[in-house]
Amino acid sequence: METFRKISQFLREVKSEMKKVTWPTKSYTINSTIVVLIATTIITLFLYICDLGLARVISQLIK
C-alpha cells in the first residue's frame, strides 16, 4: 500500500512539473533541426576529406 501511495505522489508531482515546462514553437523546432542537419553535414564532409587525405599520406609512407 505504501508503494502505491509513493507512485501516486510521484505521478502528481510529474504532472505539476510538466505544467511548468515551456515547450518550443514549431518554427523554432524546425529551424533548430535545419541548423543541426547543416552542421552535421559540414562536419561529416570535413572529417571525410581529412580521412581521405590521411589515408593517402599513410599509404605513401607505407610504400
Write down the pLDDT at residue 18.
Answer: 95
Check pLDDT > 80 for residue 5: yes
Q: pLDDT grade, residue 63 (50/70/90)? A: confident
pLDDT in tens, 11-57: 999 999 999 999 999 999 999 999 999 999 999 999 999 999 999 99
Write down the pLDDT at residue 36.
Answer: 98
Q: How far apart are CA 14 and CA 28, in angstroms?
A: 25
Give residue limits of the domains in the chain.
24-63
Instruction: Give every CB contact of residue 24 below 8 A, 6+ residues apart in sequence.
Output: 32
Write down the pLDDT at residue 1.
Answer: 76
